[in-house]
Structure 1
């Protein structure tokens, strides 16, 4: 009985290793958000947000000639300030969110001394509403309409007037004993 146990253990170990060779390698596993691993499980993707979200409304408030402090108050602290390029602030932004397309933008503020000279803006800088819509992964279901418009109310048929109440009861009439005891 003793020689069978090591043989059985080694056979099971070899079968387990042979089964691992049929699985796909880590290099071939999908890396795109939303793909299923091994066709069964959708992995959780960590939401990564880096930098400052800058919108058209925020950038429109910044004017050439403003001081560095004023620019910082309106746009926030820059992601990158380089000691070798003291006249440049870099505002980089990137977001990777499950269910939404990844986004990346780069805004550069150029200074002359302490005064803002100009802003280099990307062409795809969104408004606040466009940005919120682009990262909104909530998909509402078809919800019923809760209110009618004035035109829809006028199109409704006029309800019929109720008929006068019948004097005689309709259906079987039952007599019940009185609730109070008779004395």
Structure 2
């Protein structure tokens, strides 16, 4: 025997299902708009991406024509690109990607002739101090509070009269007699 529902019960179940579906769709729409507001307020942490070799002005100034490949490698490090078809050329490329700041890219090309440095050309390189200060400028957004109390602030907290001073502690240490012997460090057997 099949179980059948009465017509009014089926009508009630249909109405209930339609109402639940409508409420669910409305809730999804409001969740979507509120989640957009939350997502715009909360941003994920983005890291600085450093690629390649940082070459400073001091390193470029140390390069002299006539240096061997090994000497150049000791000053600048291993090149990022050593073209197969241009073995007389090394490419040094440095890229720094930071969130909300324009990407920095610097290039230096070193040319060799008969395995000795012939010439080099590329972008103007910053000094090491300039590069470090450009990195630190992002990190120091918050103002460091002044940790020094003014004389007026110190007056609100009077010193306790019974607290020993440094000179009292020095006098007490010199006036106390030293023991004639000390207990042994290890247990006697």
Task: Report the TM range for the smaller structure's normalisation.
Answer: 0.5 to 0.7
Q: Pick the structure with more helix per residue.
A: 2
> Aligned with 2:67: secondary structure?
coil
> Which segments of 5 or more consecutive residues in structure 2 lack a partner in the other structure?
1-11, 149-189
> Which segments of 5 or more consecutive residues in structure 1 lack a partner in the other structure?
26-35, 147-183
Mapped to 2, the partners of 1:134 and 1:75 lie a distance apart of: 21
Mapped to 1, the partners of 2:110 and 2:34 lie a distance apart of: 51
Indicate the residue corresponding to 1:115 in structure 2: 116
Q: How many residues align?
A: 134
Give the alignment of 1:90-169 within 5 angstroms. 90-98=91-99, 101-123=102-124, 125-136=125-136, 137-139=138-140, 141-142=143-144, 144=146
> Aligned with 1:73: secondary structure?
helix
Is the 8 Å Cα contact of residues 100 and 134 (structure 1) preserved in structure 2? no
Q: Report the alpha carbon displacement of residue 89 of structure 1 after superposing the two structures with TM.
A: 0.8
Mapped to 1, the partners of 2:74 and 2:91 lie a distance apart of: 15
**1:83 equivalenced with 2:84 (yes/no):** yes
Mapped to 2, the partners of 1:62 and 1:75 lie a distance apart of: 9
| TM-score with structure 1 setting the length | 0.61
1:99-128 CA distance string (max 9 Å, x none): 7553210000111131111110313x1111
1:24-46 CA distance string (max 9 Å, x none): 99xxxxxxxxxx952x1233212
Q: Report the alpha carbon displacement of residue 50 of structure 1 after superposing the two structures with TM.
A: 0.3
